[in-house]
Amino acid sequence: MHHANVFYGHAAVLARYCGLPEDPPPTIWGYLQHGWNTHDGFAVGHEFVPGFPKLVWSDAVARRGWALGLRDYRVIGSPWAYLMLLRADEIAAAGPGEGTIVFPFHGWEGQEIVGDHAAYADEVRSVEGDVPLTMSLYWNDFERPEIRKTYEDKGFRVISFGRRGGMYQGGAPDFIDRQFTELLGHRRVVSNRLGSALFYGAALGREVGVYGDPMVLQNDYAVLGGMQRQQRLFPQWTGHAVPHAAAAGDARRELGVDRTLAPAQLRAQLGWGQAD
C-alpha cells in the first residue's frame, strides 16, 4: 500500500465503514487521493505503478486528471463522505456550533509557508468579531513556538490534529476524526485559501469564508496554478461569507458525497474482497 493511503487516518475510516480492522487497516490496492487540489488529485510528481487504479473522491477530480492525460481513475467518494455516514447521528444532533475555526494555508514537510501570521490574526479577529476563535495549525507550524504564540497572544485557542506521517511512521490515525469533531462544534470555518477543510465544513452545513493574505508556499509548483486557478474555478469562494448554496453544492461535488459506495462495493474497489 502506498504510504499516502494512510495519511490523516483515511484508510482507517474506510476500513471502519467496511467493518474491517482499523489498526492497521488492510492494504489498499491502488492510490487513494489524500487531499483536495485543482490538479489531478495527487501530489505533483507522484509516480504511479501501471495497473493500479487511482481512487479519487469525485468525478470532478477524475475529469481534471483525464484532461492531463492520466487514466485508470475510479471514483469512490472521499473518506470524509464516509465519515459523515459513520457519524450521521452526531450531525443530526449537532446544534449550529459556536465561534470560528481557522485553517490557514500551510506547507508540509518539504515546503514552508511565508506570510505574516500576526497580520492574518488581526484580520481574522476584525472580521469575525468578539467570538471564540480556534486556530488549527498543521504540525510543522504548531511546533514552531513563535507561530503558535502569535495566535495565542491574540486570544486564539490554538490546536493541531497531529502529523499525517510518512512511510507508515508518525501519523495520527485519529486526525480526521478529531477534525470532524472540531468542525461540527463551530459555526464558521474560514481560511485564506480554498482547501479540504473548507469543503469539509461546508458539507457539514457550516458557514465558510475565504479571505486574508493567501501567503506563499516556498518553491510552489506552477502546474497547480496558485490562488489564481482557485479563483477562476471557484469564483464564489472569495470573501467573508461564501453563499450557502454554492458552498454546499461545491462541497458535495468535490468530496463525492453522492458517490459513496455500499460497504461490499467499496471493499471490492479497494481490493478488500469481492462485492456481495
Which of 184, 185, 215 minimizes the C-alpha distance to 200? Answer: 184
**57 HSE (CA, 13 A, CB side):** 30
CATH topology of domain 95-254: Rossmann fold (3.40.50)
CA distance 37 to 156: 28
User: How many residues in the chain?
Assistant: 276
Which of 253, 265, 276, 232 minimizes the C-alpha distance to 80? Answer: 253
The answer to which of 17-21, 22-26, 27-31, 43-47 has the lowest mean pLDDT is 43-47
Q: What percent of the chain has pLDDT over 90?
A: 71
Partners of residue 191 on adjacent β-strands: 210
pLDDT digits (tens, 9 = 90+) for 150-178: 999 999 999 999 987 665 666 889 999 99
- For the chain, give every domain's residue range: 3-88+256-270, 95-254
**Cα distance from N-terminal residue to C-terminal residue, the chain:** 24
pLDDT digits (tens, 9 = 90+) for 40-72: 888 776 788 888 999 999 999 999 999 988 899
pLDDT of residue 221: 47
Name the DSSP class of 111: B
pLDDT of residue 275: 47
Q: What average pLDDT does range 219-247 have in this prediction?
A: 80
Predicted TM-score (pTM) of the model is 0.92
